[in-house]
Structure 1
């Protein structure tokens, strides 16, 4: 639940962001008001999380953040206020995965995951890590791809006192499909690569990075969701075009 302090802090941060960015968040309205739902996102730089979080409106939202974030007092305050889930990168962090499952299945939240696991810096996609596929196999919830781009040049634009474009695009929902296959390392990576290709589809080609020119039978690993089919995704995405 958003508190008055959360509202105040988000308002201040949005004001600062609009001084340095030209933010196009028109497609945020496609994100459902509640979960359980995984948002599969790319990770460009330090601006990704503040922009997304402060524009989520009344949505109940959380996401992973590297544990080192809490070493900085200001970042610790913000990500605690925002309900971030600390995760140890490079190891199987079972506590973080349990917190993520609780956020999805108990609290019915939206959970943001960046499969790349780290910032690209230049906006070009890195190879995804299979954590998102593992979580999807355990939680069995829909996934919605969401990307941001255009702000990789923020440093040089700040030096020029120039506002930087920040674009947000939202794709179509799907579920991971394992079809009785053994959920081994190879399958989890294949599912992750299929998810990353959904992310790549939303980006201009120059950002495709490791997935530039990559093709695969995504239908083998992903089951696309028709919002008119009656499945609850949540609310069958029926509220996806309500105001953000």
Structure 2
């Protein structure tokens, strides 16, 4: 009920009015029922709001634990809002906590729900597509559900990093064909398979979004920027077609 209220009455109409987000292709690739992973590029915090707005099925996103632990009225309202938007708190402070987050993802899709996930792990610092983390591959192989690549376009212009006020800008969403990794069933413990699957997902995202690819984790690039060091090598331009046979 809360999800419906926020999406259709409180927030959704305002986002639709000012930004006019639209699925420009591929909406038919999302099944009407059953567990599925939506793997998206990540340009802005607003990605997690615009994508569910245009889909008929509810999307569950793992979200930082900090969004749910604030104090006072502001913390309560933020917790209410993120819960209402279908996001679940994820603790990533340790290896065991990170594994718990992955287990939660598997549980969500095994329950027949839609899991939204950002393989880059954090927002792109400059609009380019960064190296994917293998967690999305592990969830896919453990659960056996398909992965659908999703490209968000323009959200970094509507909600630039560091901005407190969103700006009207036309948002576009592209949804790719499902990726089936059933050929790797039972190999979720093989790190080479996990990397191959992850790279195949990132290749699909690169093709869909048109972004330049950088073979560095976005988090590492941000750390380097904060330390005043060269953050990334020049963009690779295109990720080699890493589809395993």
The 8 Å contact of residues 145 and 171 in structure 1, kept in 2 or not, is answered as yes
* Counterpart among 112, 116, 119 of residue 112 in structure 1: 116
Greater shift, 184-193 or 123-132, is seen at 184-193
In 1, Cα distance between equivalents of 2:60 and 2:188: 30
* Counterpart among 181, 191, 194 of residue 197 in structure 2: 191
* Counterpart among 70, 79, 84 of residue 87 in structure 2: 84
The 8 Å contact of residues 85 and 96 in structure 1, kept in 2 or not, is answered as no
Gaps of 5+ in 1: 221-244
Post-superposition offset of 1:161: 9.5
The 8 Å contact of residues 159 and 166 in structure 2, kept in 1 or not, is answered as no
Q: Counterpart of 1:7 in 2: which secondary structure? A: helix
Alignment of 1:105-184 (within 5 A): 105=110, 107-154=111-158, 163-176=168-181, 177-178=183-184, 183-184=189-190
Post-superposition offset of 1:203: 1.0
Change (3 A) 1:120 1:161: closer
TM-score of the superposed pair, with normalisation by structure 1: 0.76
In 2, Cα distance between equivalents of 1:129 and 1:112: 14
Could you tell me which residue of structure 1 aligns to residue 47 of structure 2?
A: 48
* Match status 1:215 vs 2:240: yes
In 2, Cα distance between equivalents of 1:192 and 1:185: 10
1:191-242 deviations in Å (ceiling 9; x for gaps): 211111111110124x44446222134143xxxxxxxxxxxxxxxxxxxxxx
Could you tell me which residue of structure 2 aligns to residue 27 of structure 1?
A: 25
* Match status 1:103 vs 2:128: no
Post-superposition offset of 1:100: 1.9
Q: Counterpart of 2:129 in 1: which secondary structure? A: coil
Q: Size of the alignment, in residue pairs?
A: 213
In 1, Cα distance between equivalents of 2:23 and 2:67: 25
Post-superposition offset of 1:182: 8.1
Greater shift, 30-39 or 67-76, is seen at 67-76
In 2, Cα distance between equivalents of 1:194 and 1:111: 18
Post-superposition offset of 1:183: 3.6
The 8 Å contact of residues 35 and 109 in structure 2, kept in 1 or not, is answered as yes
The 8 Å contact of residues 39 and 111 in structure 1, kept in 2 or not, is answered as yes
Change (3 A) 1:115 1:160: closer
